[in-house]
Amino acid sequence: MDVYTTSFTYPRRSRHIHSPASSLDFQPSDLKSTSLVDPFPQAQHPQLGNPQISDVSVSADVEAIQKLAMMAMSLHGCHVSYYMVDQGRAWNFHITGAYQQVMISRGLILKECPIQHRAAIKVTRSEILDSPFSKPSLKPEVRRRLDDIASQTLAHIAVVNSPLALSNRTPPDGISSSAGWSGLETERVCELVVTGTEDAVDLARVRLLVMLDELSGLHAEFVEIDHKLHAIVANRKRNMLQTIQEETATNIYFPSPLQDLLGPDLNNTSSTGARNSNIIWITGEFFGVQRARDMLMQVSINKSKSVISRDTAILPRKLDWMVTDRAEDLRTIMSDNATYIQFPALGSSTSLITVYGDHRVNIQRTIRSIMQLACQYYVGSFWLLPIQFNALLPPANLSSPAITALLKQISTATGAEVVFKSMCFEMHGLEHEVRAAVNMIMELDIIKAFHHEIRFQIELSNEHRDFISGKKNGKINKIMQTTNVKIKFETFNDHNFLIDVAGPDTSVLQGLTLLQEELPAEISFHVPEGYHKRIIGVGGRSIQRIMKKYGVYVKFSNAEEFAALGGYNDNDDNVVARTPAKNAINLDNLKQSVMELVNPKDKDFVNETVSIPRRYHRTLLGEKSIFIHDIETKTNSRVRFPDKETASDVVTIYGPESQVQIAATMLLDHVPFEADMAVPPSADLPRVCTSPEFNAVVEHVKRELQVSISPNFKQPGAMNGSSGTETPSEYSFKFRCQRSNSDFLITAREMLEQFLLNHNVHVYPSPTAHAHKKNDSFAEAFPHFDSKVLSAARTRGHESMDMGRSDIMADRRLRLASSSPDVKAMFNSPAYIYNIEAPEDVENNYLPGPPVPGLDYWTPLAPIGTGMPHRSRHSQDAIKRGSDSLLEAKLKEQITKQPRSLNNRAQSLDLTYSLSRITESGSHYAVPESPTTSTGGTGGNSSPNSVTAPSFPSVYGPPLSTRSSGIFGASQQTSGQEHDDAIDEVSRVISNLGL
């Protein structure tokens, strides 16, 4: 009997470490044990963050792995050994025995290995905790529900402080934590962290989301539909599901399509169907839930009549790799194509998969995608041949202990699965893993006693067969002659074929490299069909010229071909460009050349992501759906909400690159935003907040900034001694506005702080509290410009702003003025507001970062031309605009005198008023209240003090004895120094105004 030995590392990718330090570690009290071992320790852990936690987790894993190995050996009669690798995040298994028994044991280990997966759900602390501000504890009802969910799904659930929580963040504005929290904060967030097997985590996450919906007052029901129909009912990219959620204002949670493939088999038939893969949960208003339930049932009945299926063959090890390592890709393929893929049991050595769908095109596209995924997995073999044959001597052989040590070493070092059978090493894995394993084997001393032959097996799509072989097999023949390897094509199935590369020594690696350079690299994108003929040109001349220039083949699919194909890499892609891998760098160049002929509103379709808190998704999809469709129409884009069961906040906008930013801004206009400002307890606060002055301030802020402020005093629930009155224990003010308007929150906070300080109500120390004697009037004059120059508007990356916003929102681009909801306030602003020209590099201006020193006050600028050679053209443009020789000379002279950055100049909006002030007579300046009279150190004639700061010129120059009607000519009848001073002043103003 031939001995079959395999060594592999599982999981191949790094596993998540146990959840971070937590304040509340919820332990399920009623976990049912699996057929192997209870994967989660029952003992109460010490405080998370203690290093003992990882030891407890590891010891539990070691015990479970030991039981699993013993079970495999007793059931299937083979030897199993294991040890920990990858710093305790993975295990290396070594199985020896008869081929059939080894493969069954391998499948058992892959399926039931207790690998810990992790998922986190962000939750507002007030939803699940009794007192989110003082000493939080789980609400009794929430604790009971978490206990039930943990026992039914066998997942471990912990309530932990979010990385975004207040206690884990540095207070904003550089205030020390001992000084108290001084800024605005969104609702405090904690996380429900779920750990366990992949199935347990998926089940528990859905149940937790349903529980949170119920706690917020929504009705929840479940409907049972055959799991094969789930993706078909949802339609491509879940379009039908999104439509149902729109019409009924509900949340619909689907189970994982890969349920029951991983993890132990559990026959848990609880009344709620906790582990039933057919259960779909629906939450929302009662009648909306009933409508959604009926619609889902109706669609499923209709679709079930038209379901078709198709079988296809894939190598068993590739199937196992897809399920364990590419689960997310499989879910995406099923969602994109409205199909369901039925996989055989893990490790079963069965090669057939079945694809279910309601349309032939969707099924074909699914199989193509699966086959494309399979092409990433390589198979290599290393045959050991005797140097000479002698019938009298026994054949050379390798000792079993040496083989065991070798396989473990190679498998651990490279990540590939390594098999030894009949004097042949087999390597299975990704290309770099297999190549590294072959290199390691070639360097072994014991191998040098044998002749050897190396083979690589590559899988490729049938449509690329002619592409890879070339004209009359020219490419393949050249590689074989150059490297002395043999290359053979073998038919595998209806979609893919196999390429065998074989050679005696290192030349086979060189041949593999040359072959890989000829493998097709492709890119697909979307071009509206109306542009196809224009891009292709008469007789294809235009596109032929572009293809020849870059050496790339391009295929445009018309409507019929696109419908028959279902799209390339993305559902909407109708153009594909293909070239050998060695020329892949030209794919992007070709795409840019093609896109130059397309209108900006129709080209470069991209996915833009926007972070919107999950709790608003149902309202946006339901009540606000009419506005979303309007945004989609105006921007030629589509808004796609994340799958509900993922608990994601990220909304995707698919559309032209020039439009998705506008669509994102318009979408954020409909998203509410709330923040709290905590203040110290004060007996005067309730009285102040009921005064007419407070109401006037709130009304003023709402009118000017579109931010509403309301006091929020929480009662402790206990009577205050003998007086019988309740004293609020927590004082805070709640700020509400639209999310796109959140830039004004800092200004609103400062106005409230100023009001409270004026009424002797103490607030936590903050920079604004210390400087409340007089703010720079620039900061008040420019609430509508998001500029790093102005201290009040420095909101990008502000730590005290939105704690719930992801990094995706950190670099929001410049919002168009027309998209601001505060247009009225902009045009009603005082006449002395200047129009600041945006710097050329908009990206840098809006990136979050630490405050730049010197931005709050002006310091002298360096002379023009120092450090800014690329901006000298602005000076020339200003000179060219002059029409008078005397004025032109004066402008040139003034530019050399005045160290002002014309790129950062400011223009007065009220030119006639400014110019008329120049001609007023008087020995002193009668200057009205304006930015030039602020106490921030910017006097009327001061210079800016930062290169990045705009220059705000004083237009109140020395008195002139003549009317301003003659300032553009040389006809003023003045004499001497007065004439020169007047001309100098006017020239300076004109140059700064850029006229």
pLDDT in tens, 55-82: 444 555 788 899 999 999 998 889 999 9
In the chain, what percentage of residues exceed pLDDT 70?
Answer: 66
pLDDT tens column, 158-189: 998 766 544 333 333 333 333 333 456 666 78
pLDDT band for position 378 (50/70/90)?
very high
- Can you read off the two tokens belonging to residue 330? 């499989």
Residue 230 in this model has a pLDDT that exceeds 90: yes
Which CATH architecture best describes the domain 605-668? Answer: 2-Layer Sandwich (3.30)
Q: Looking at the predicted structure, is the pLDDT value of residue 156 above 90?
A: yes
Confidence of residue 513 (pLDDT cuts 50, 70, 90): very high
274-310 tens-digit pLDDT: 678 899 999 999 999 999 999 999 999 999 999 999 9
The residue-averaged pLDDT of 79-93 equals 88
- Find, among 65, 66, 46, the residue nearest to 56 by Cα: 46
> Residues of the chain with pLDDT > 90: what percent?
41
Distances from the Cα of 318 to the Cα of 14, 128, 459, 790, angstroms: 19, 44, 11, 58
363 pLDDT more than 80: yes
Tell the burial category of 169 from Cβ atoms under 10 Å away from its Cβ (0-12, 13-18, 19+): middle
Residue 11: cis peptide before it, omega within 30 degrees of 0: yes
- When pLDDT is averaged across residues 687-707 and rounded to a whole number, the result is 90
CB neighbour class for 817 (10 Å; exposed up to 12, middle 13-18, buried from 19): exposed
The model's pTM:
0.69
What pLDDT score was predicted for residue 507? 87
Among 40, 36, 34, 38, residue whose Cα is nearest residue 19: 40
Distance between CA atoms of residues 106 and 317, nearest Å: 11
Task: Say how many CA atoms lie within 13 Å of 671 toward its Cβ.
Answer: 21
Count, residues in the chain? 995
User: What pLDDT is attached to residue 569?
Assistant: 87
Mean pLDDT on 222-233: 95
CB 252 within 8 A of CB 244: yes
Mean pLDDT value of segment 666-685: 84
| Vertex 567: Cα angle to 564 and 568 (nearest 5) | 125
Question: Is the per-residue pLDDT at 718 higher than 90?
Answer: no
- Say yes or no to pLDDT of 859 above 60: no
Task: Please name the fold of domain 377-518.
Answer: TATA-Binding Protein (3.30.310)
| Banded model confidence at residue 269, pLDDT cuts 50, 70, 90 | very low
Find the helix or strand (DSSP H, E) in which 420 lies.
strand 417-421
The pLDDT value given to residue 348: 82
Measured CA distances, 488 to 206, 582, 831, 902 (Å): 49, 22, 80, 69
Q: What mean pLDDT comes out for the span 122-149?
A: 83
Q: Report the alpha-carbon distance of residue 794 to residue 786 in Å, rounded.
A: 7
308-372 and 522-595: same fold? yes
At 47, which amino acid appears?
Answer: Q
Question: Is the model's pLDDT at 568 over the cut of 70?
Answer: yes
Domain boundary assignment for the chain: 308-372, 377-518, 522-595, 605-668, 869-993
* Tokens representing residue 216 in the block: 């917020």
Summarize pLDDT for 819-858 with one digit per residue, the tens: 444 444 444 444 333 333 434 443 333 334 444 443 333 3
What does the mean pLDDT of the chain come to?
75
CATH classification number, 522-595, choose in 3.40.50.1370, 3.30.1370.10, 3.40.50.2300, 3.30.420.40: 3.30.1370.10
3-state secondary structure (DSSP) of residue 731: strand
Among candidate residues 6, 16, 12, the one with its CA nearest the CA of residue 324:
12
| pLDDT at site 134 | 58
| 3-state per-residue secondary structure call for 832-863 | CCEEECCCCCHHHHCCCCCCCCCCCCCCCCCC
pLDDT of residue 70: 92
Provide the angle, in degrees to the nearest 10, between the axes of the packed helices 316-325 and 360-374: 90
Q: Which of 364, 207, 187 is nearest to 275 (CA)?
A: 207
CA distances from 152 to 138, 146, 155 (A): 20, 10, 8
pLDDT tens for each residue of 390-420:
555 555 667 788 888 899 999 999 999 999 9
| 610 closest CA partner among 631, 626, 589 | 631
Cα within 13 Å of Cα(818), Cβ side: 2
> Yes or no: is domain 308-372 CATH 3.30.1370.10?
yes
**Per-residue confidence at 894, pLDDT binned at 50, 70, 90?**
low
CB-based contacts of 239: which residues, under 8 Å, 6+ apart?
Answer: none
Give the C-alpha separation, 948 to 127, whole Å.
45
* φ, ψ for residue 942, nearest 5 deg: -75, 160
